[in-house]
Amino acid sequence: MNRVLPLIIVALAILAFATLFLVAGPAMQIRSIDAPDGLAPYTQAQLNGRAEYISQGCVYCHSQQPRSPEQAPDVLRGWGRPSTPADYVYDEPHLLGTMRTGPDLLNVGARLPSQGWQLTHLYQPRAIVPQSIMPAFPYLFEAKDQAEDDDVVVPVPARYRPEGKIIVAKQQALDLVDYLLSLDRTYPAERVDLRDNGFVAKEDS
């Protein structure tokens, strides 16, 4: 019994130490980073789409953190330059992700900037990539006999939509695509070295 209290104290001390150096310290270091010139705040539609991205669980299969060539061939895959802390200034919460069942999406707006492509891919991924294992999201769309004035018709091939129908994007799908198209971190950026509790900016093209 006499050993319990010291064990508890040691455990709490280790937890506090880890929290300080792994959470509080890095947060204090990066909170003063300014937004890069090429990065704009999200619009309301993009924020709505970001919330949809979270609610649909996209973060479970897609990362948003291209890594350096020393860690992975992400640059060779066409996913863009390695990400930097400044790339996430407007992200709250961040959506770095931990798995890559699908490709990294931090620069998908630069790689695939077509709204029609993105909408078709959301409605039925295999209409574009036959071997895709991504789930379809048909409930973000509506099948109609004909389009109305404000409808955004999705160019879904006939074999993937109900016979005689057209596919129209709901607002959730439009907002989600707005968010995806905003993911473009291809501007030149400074790489930040956070060692020694300071900043060492390095130009990165």
C-alpha–C-alpha distance, residues 119 and 75, integer Å:
26
Q: CA–CA separation, 164 vs 82, rounded Å?
A: 46
Average pLDDT over residues 18-30: 71
- Supply the pLDDT for residue 27: 66
Buried b (16+ CB within 10 A) or exposed e, 116-133: eebbbbbbbbebbeeeee
Q: Check whether 157 has a pLDDT greater than 70.
A: yes
Q: Say whether pLDDT at 177 is over 70.
A: yes
pLDDT band at residue 25 using 50, 70 and 90 as cut-offs:
low
pLDDT tens-digit readout, 1-13: 567 788 888 889 8
Opening angle at CA 34, ends 31 and 36, nearest 5: 135
Whole-number pLDDT of residue 170: 98
197 Cβ partners below 8 Å, 6+ apart? 25, 29
Q: Is the pLDDT of residue 198 over 50?
A: no
Alpha helices in the chain (DSSP H): 4-19, 25-30, 44-55, 108-111, 115-123, 171-182
Q: What mean pLDDT value characterizes the chain?
A: 89
Query: Higher-confidence residue: 52 or 201?
Result: 52
Instruction: Select from 84, 91, 100 the least CA-distant residue to 205.
Output: 84
Q: What confidence score (pLDDT) does residue 75 get?
A: 93
- Res 29 pLDDT > 70: no
- pLDDT over 90 percentage in the chain: 71
Please say if the pLDDT value at position 113 is more than 80.
yes
The arithmetic mean of pLDDT across residues 37-66, rounded, is 96
Res. 116: pLDDT tops 90: yes
- Contacts of residue 190, defined as CB under 8 A and 6 or more positions apart, other chains included, come to 36, 84, 86, 201, 202, 203, 204
Average pLDDT in the 87-113 region?
94
Q: Phi first, then psi: what are they for 204, rounded to 5°?
A: -135, 125
